[in-house]
């Protein structure tokens, strides 16, 4: 455990959601607003209407250059400091989709041209430029050039816990003395590729997500999201007091039915939170089994601490959710109000789910947790430095 | 300088072998009936992790530029009736998860590193900064078809896993790995880089190496 006086701190953090930056997003969540809208799952090609939260003005279909590039560039250029990607200021880029939406657009338009159905489907001819975004390394290299970053860039892709890996590795680089500050930058923008995939799994259906609500059918929504966190040792009023990972490898899309995977991840977080009054920001996508296990494990670990989840409004921002929600939790601590579990109502699946916003000024810290395919779990304790 | 001993190693150079041949070659290493939906990369990396005795207390770093190329190709081609199985399988880092799930093989930490040019350096830094000093570095690629023709898939298939430690454990150590900040500091981007293929060939051939691995870092790999 690091010396408490020398803990890695959050020097700066912000996010981008359909509501705007962290301040605007938190304000919207406190008002109970929902960013999700029903959109055809395959974009121009139609399909069932499913709840997606897209950045304003952006279509689900990919374009070249991507419509998300401009807002993402604005977020990147708002990061304080200079020299990102240099030796002492490494960058950890995390996500799960990167430019795969462009690859999807390329392949679908190529297939339509081959079949002679391109114009009927409203598809443009395939553009070779789409392929320049086609793998995570190529996508991040393009972004690094666009943002003026140096070469010290590490890319993590571990589905919906990706952003947590960036935070942990940035912390380790700082603690090893290999960096003065580290940037964790994360983004995931939706496309028919990922919407179609979750729709095929039948969890992205027509229903609105209601995280932790005990109801007959589960459902998720998906959302665009991007965020950053600057980590360092000198500046910042909040710190990552503990971080942990655990990978069950029990089932590709499921968790151990006894909830032991969730508990294993939370164990060191519980130890670090001892003596503190915490609230909890869970993963809470809106699926029933994972929601029940997660809420149960959090209640077992932290008793009556209030649990909230924000994906009922923002949708699941996939690989970016760990830092998007870190940014929102930090903002909530600063304004003294925690948004409730927007989109859900009693009864809860388990635990002390807070459906409404509450005053958090009597709390010392927040537990933030995320989960991913493969029974992957990640959690950290965000506390006053 | 960061330094580790190579404790256990497994490599598989499948080259241009078709996935069905790889499946026949490796299926005996997995529980009966579990390999039908596994990918070539999943079979190779899953086998490699078993051979280096990956266990629930381990931190595993996994490196692949292209990941599940064949599953990604198949998933993209499944539209408009998107395949749920290929969607799951196409997602990075499915190769490791496939092999671990069929064995119910939990991992304490799992760091899937993606990227291209400096992938090996990134992955080595992750593996070597793991605080306990005990970690496994695995990775690989599978040969693509239409994605490969467009530069988005590997021309060859391979998989590896190497167990790293600070101390010699049971058995004979295989080699030593040192990651050294290059003279001139880490701003120096002129020394070249080591690709994942290059790294694999060093391991597979037990070749020693002393040279650039990525911006500002040198790698020394020696065999005992």
Residue A192 at interface with chain B, using a CB cutoff of 8 Å: yes
Share of residues in chain B with pLDDT > 90 (%): 87
pLDDT class of B182 with cuts at 50, 70, 90: confident
Burial-class residue A39 by CB neighbours within 10 Å (0-12, 13-18, 19+): buried
Cis amide prior to A242 (ω within 30 degrees): no
Contact A169 B129 (CB under 8 A): yes
Q: Which of A121, A135, A144, A180 to mutate to test the interface with B (most CBs of B within 10 A)?
A: A135
Task: State which H helix or E strand residue B60 sits in.
Answer: strand B59-63
Mean pLDDT of B181-185: 71
Residue B118 at interface with chain A, using a CB cutoff of 8 Å: yes
Residue B139: inside a domain, yes or no? yes
Taking the C-alpha atoms of residue B222 and residue B174, their distance in angstroms, rounded to an integer, is: 9
pLDDT class of B116 with cuts at 50, 70, 90: confident
**Number of domains within chain B:** 1
Residue A86 at interface with chain B, using a CB cutoff of 8 Å: yes
Residue B88, domain CATH: 3.40.47.10
All residues of chain A having their beta carbon less than 8 Å from the beta carbon of residue B147 are: 134
Q: Residues with Cβ < 8 Å from A272, sequence gap 6 or more?
A: A1, A241, A242, A381
Specify the CATH architecture of the domain A9-232: 3-Layer(aba) Sandwich (3.40)
Contact A42 B106 (CB under 8 A): no
Residue B114: inside a domain, yes or no? yes
pLDDT tens for A322-375 read 999 999 999 999 999 999 999 999 999 999 999 999 999 999 999 999 999 999
The structure's pTM equals 0.96
CATH 3.40.47.10 location in chain A: 9-232, 238-384
Domain region containing B96: 2-173
The complex's ipTM works out to 0.96
Residue B180 at interface with chain A, using a CB cutoff of 8 Å: no
DSSP state for residue B57 in the 8-state scheme: T
All residues of chain B having their beta carbon less than 8 Å from the beta carbon of residue A47 are: 80
All residues of chain A having their beta carbon less than 8 Å from the beta carbon of residue B115 are: 136-137, 140, 153-155
Residue B184: inside a domain, yes or no? no
Mean pLDDT across chain A, nearest whole number? 95
pLDDT tens for A267-291 read 999 999 999 999 999 999 999 999 9
Torsion angle (degrees, nearest 10) of CA B1, B58, A156, A236: -70
pLDDT tens for A186-219 read 999 999 999 999 999 999 999 999 999 999 999 9
Residue A371 at interface with chain B, using a CB cutoff of 8 Å: no
Burial state string for B7-42 with b = 16 or more CB within 10 A and e = fewer than 16 = bbbbbbbbeebebeebbeebbeebeeeebeebbbbb
Residue B185: inside a domain, yes or no? no
Residue of A nearest to B99 (CA): A249
Residue A5 has pLDDT above 60, yes or no: no
A238-384: what fold? Peroxisomal Thiolase; Chain A, domain 1 (3.40.47)
């Amino acid at each position: 455990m690091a010396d408490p006086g020398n803990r890695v701190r959050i020097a700066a953090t912000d996010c981008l959601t359909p509501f705007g930056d962290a301040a605007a997003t938190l304000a919207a969540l406190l008002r109970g607003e929902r960013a999700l809208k029903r959109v055809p799952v395959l974009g121009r090609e139609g399909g069932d209407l499913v709840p997606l939260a897209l950045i304003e003005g952006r279509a689900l279909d990919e374009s070249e250059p991507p419509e998300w590039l401009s807002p993402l560039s604005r977020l990147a250029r708002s990061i304080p400091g200079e020299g990102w990607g240099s030796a002492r200021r490494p960058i950890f880029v995390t996500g799960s989709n990167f430019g795969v939406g462009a690859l999807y657009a390329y392949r679908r338009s190529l297939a339509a041209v081959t079949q002679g159905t391109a114009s009927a489907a409203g598809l443009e001819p395939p553009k070779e430029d789409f392929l320049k975004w086609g793998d995570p390394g190529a996508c991040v290299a393009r972004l690094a050039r666009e943002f003026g970053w140096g070469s010290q860039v590490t890319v993590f892709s571990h589905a919906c816990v990706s952003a947590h890996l960036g935070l942990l590795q940035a912390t380790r680089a700082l603690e090893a003395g290999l960096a003065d500050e580290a940037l964790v930058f994360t983004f995931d923008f939706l496309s028919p590729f990922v919407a179609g995939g979750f729709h095929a799994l039948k969890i992205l259906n027509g229903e609105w997500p209601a995280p932790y609500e005990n109801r007959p059918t589960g459902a998720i929504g998906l959302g665009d999201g991007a965020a950053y966190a600057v980590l360092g040792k000198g500046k910042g009023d909040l710190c990552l007091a503990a971080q942990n990972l655990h990978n069950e490898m029990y089932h590709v899309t499921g968790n151990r039915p006894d909830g032991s995977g969730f508990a294993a991840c939370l164990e060191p977080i519980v130890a670090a939170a001892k003596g503190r009054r915490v609230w909890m920001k869970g993963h809470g996508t809106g699926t029933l089994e994972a929601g029940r296990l997660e809420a149960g494990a959090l209640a077992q670990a932290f008793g009556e601490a209030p649990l909230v989840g924000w994906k009922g409004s923002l949708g699941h921002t996939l690989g970016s959710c760990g830092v998007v929600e870190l940014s929102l939790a930090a903002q909530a601590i600063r304004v003294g109000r925690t948004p409730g579990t927007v989109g859900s109502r009693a009864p809860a699946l388990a635990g002390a789910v807070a459906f409404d916003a509450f005053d958090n000024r009597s709390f010392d810290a927040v537990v933030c947790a995320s989960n991913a395919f493969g029974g992957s779990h990640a959690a950290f304790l965000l506390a006053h430095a | 300088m960061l330094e580790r001993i190579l404790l256990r190693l497994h490599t598989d150079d499948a080259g241009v072998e078709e996935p069905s041949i790889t499946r026949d070659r490796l299926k005996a290493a997995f529980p009966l009936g579990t390999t039908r939906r596994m990918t070539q990369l999943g079979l190779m990396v899953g086998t490699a992790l078993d051979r280096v005795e990956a266990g629930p207390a381990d931190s595993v770093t996994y490196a692949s530029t292209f990941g599940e190329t064949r599953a990604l190709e198949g998933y993209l081609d499944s539209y408009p009736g998107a395949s749920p199985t290929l969607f799951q399988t196409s997602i990075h880092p499915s190769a490791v998860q496939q092999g671990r799930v069929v064995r119910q093989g939990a991992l304490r930490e799992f760091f899937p590193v993606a990227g291209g040019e400096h992938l090996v350096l990134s992955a080595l830094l992750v593996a070597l900064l793991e605080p306990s000093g005990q970690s496994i570095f695995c990775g690989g690629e599978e040969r693509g078809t239409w994605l490969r023709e467009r530069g988005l898939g590997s021309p060859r298939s391979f998989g590896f896993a190497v167990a790293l430690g600070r101390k010699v454990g049971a058995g004979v150590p295989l080699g030593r790995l040192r990651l050294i900040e290059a003279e001139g500091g880490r701003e120096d981007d002129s020394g070249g880089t080591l690709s994942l293929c290059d790294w694999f060939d060093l391991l597979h051939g037990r070749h020693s190496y002393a040279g650039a691995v990525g911006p500002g870092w040198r790698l020394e790999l020696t065999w005992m």
